């Protein structure tokens, strides 16, 4: 397995005497990457360090940390670790468990890289991960950007294995007789990615053994074409700062208009961009109603002005508070009582509780909407 051509192409290799921080969970992929970078660093004169964040999410989390620590100690690899209570951070950050874990992990890696002076942070995403991401994005619904999958480089984050199929990693592990730990949740098909990997992916490889390679190639083509379209959209924006030439926007091909609007919003200061996003509906209505369907411009804006009254705004705030309170109470009740459900245990119980919370919340929101609207109209 030779990663140097890929790493050279994307400028992933640190300078001689430099440091590259490898994100290591203790699993097969990250152990393969760490061992490879450590060996390559000895040949080329740079240091590969290991960073491990203990998420405290599984009973085996301490086992994983101890394994990575021991693995690094035997090879003289610098090892850095922290602990993060992901479940507690979920409430603080208002994110899902998966999003919270990802954010905590990358914040830890960035802090560690800054502390030790690492030029790059390497993660062990490989070609099959890229292909799975593309398929999941396609199933959820996405545009060209989503179909580019995982980028090889994002800032100082590099992915040396992204062009390497899983079978090559397995072969490297076997040839070098490397031990690794296994995350027990990887076999839980309640997670979409696990189900895709364990049940659907073997069928795809039965149709074409090179499925991952071909999907990765398609993602690379889309990545380059997407970058080109973004460049064209930027050229179409003739003004500077937060201004925009409306004629240039309307004259642009339909495929470029959303990109031009997105680039325009990205130029705005933080906070102002959020305000502008609230107006996207009005702009979209104007483009569709006035310019495409021929609705009178004055009638369009007069309709907007006359239809929004202060009682409507007040009703909106009241409904938001009532809906939020109902959803919070329902979700808390379902979550705290997930262990008492008779239709499943563990992750299955959580999944069923989530489904119940969503369905019940939808019903209560509809009822509450009727009740609040009736009360406000009196």
- Residue 307: its pLDDT value, please? 62
| 48-69 average pLDDT score | 95
Q: What does DSSP assign to residue 15?
A: P
User: 283 Cβ partners below 8 Å, 6+ apart?
Assistant: 261
- Token pair, residue 209, equals 């053994």
CA angle 262, 100, 263 (to 5 degrees): 10
Comparing CA positions, the residue from 159, 160, 158, 134 lying closest to residue 148 is 134
Domain range summary for the chain, segments of one domain joined by +: 4-125+149-185, 310-377
CA angle 69, 67, 83 (to 5 degrees): 65
Is 0.75 topped by the overall pTM? no
- Residue 139: its pLDDT value, please? 87
- Residue 246: its pLDDT value, please? 66
272: pLDDT strictly greater than 60:
no
Residues found in the chain: 378
Comparing CA positions, the residue from 184, 174, 160, 177 lying closest to residue 34 is 160
CATH code, 4-125+149-185? 3.40.50.620
User: What CA–CA distance (Å, rounded) separates 361 from 343?
Assistant: 20
Q: Bigger pLDDT: 89 or 304?
A: 89
Cα–Cα distances in Å, from 76 out to 48, 54, 111, 120, 346?
Answer: 10, 21, 22, 20, 39
- Dihedral angle sign, alpha carbons of residues 65, 69, 75, 78: positive
| 355-366 average pLDDT score | 86
Cβ pair 69, 79 in contact under 8 A: yes
Per-residue confidence band for 240, with pLDDT thresholds at 50, 70 and 90: very low
User: 85 Cβ partners below 8 Å, 6+ apart?
Assistant: 56
């Amino acid at each position: 397995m030779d990663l140097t051509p890929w790493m050279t192409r994307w400028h992933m290799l640190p300078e001689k005497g430099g440091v590259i921080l490898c994100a290591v969970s203790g699993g097969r992929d990250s152990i393969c990457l760490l061992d490879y970078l450590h060996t390559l660093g000895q040949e080329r004169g740079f240091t590969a360090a290991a960073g491990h964040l203990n998420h405290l999410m599984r009973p085996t989390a301490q086992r994983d940390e101890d394994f990575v620590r021991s693995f690094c100690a035997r090879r003289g690899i610098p090892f850095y670790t922290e602990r993060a209570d992901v479940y507690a951070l979920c409430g603080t950050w208002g994110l899902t468990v998966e999003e919270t874990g990802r954010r905590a992990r990358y914040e830890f890696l960035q802090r560690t890289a800054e502390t030790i002076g690492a030029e790059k942070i390497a993660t062990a995403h490989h070609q099959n991960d890229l292909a799975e991401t593309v398929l999941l994005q396609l199933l959820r619904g996405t545009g060209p950007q989503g179909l580019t999958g995982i980028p090889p480089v994002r800032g100082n984050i590099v992915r040396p294995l992204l062009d390497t199929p899983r079978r090559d990693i397995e072969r490297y592990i076997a040839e070098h007789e490397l031990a690794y730990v296994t995350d027990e949740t990887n076999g839980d098909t309640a997670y979409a990615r696990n189900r895709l990997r364990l049940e659907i992916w073997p069928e795809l490889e039965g149709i074409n053994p090179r499925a991952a390679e071909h999907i990765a190639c398609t993602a690379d083509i889309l990545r380059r074409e997407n970058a080109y379209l973004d460049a064209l959209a930027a050229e179409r924006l003739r003004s500077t700062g937060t201004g925009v030439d409306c004629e240039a926007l309307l004259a642009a091909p339909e495929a470029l208009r959303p990109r031009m609007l997105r680039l325009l919003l990205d130029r705005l200061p933080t906070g102002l961009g959020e305000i502008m996003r609230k107006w996207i509906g009005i702009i979209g209505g104007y483009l569709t109603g006035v310019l495409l369907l021929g609705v009178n411009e004055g009638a369009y804006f007069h309709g907007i002005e006359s239809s929004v009254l202060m009682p409507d705004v007040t009703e909106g705030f009241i409904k938001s508070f009532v809906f939020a309170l109902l959803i919070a109470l329902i979700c808390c009740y379902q979550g705290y009582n997930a262990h008492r459900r008779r239709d499943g245990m563990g992750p299955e119980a959580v999944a069923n509780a989530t489904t119940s919370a969503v369905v019940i919340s939808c019903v209560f929101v509809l009822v509450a909407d009727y009740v609040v609207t009736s009360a406000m109209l009196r």
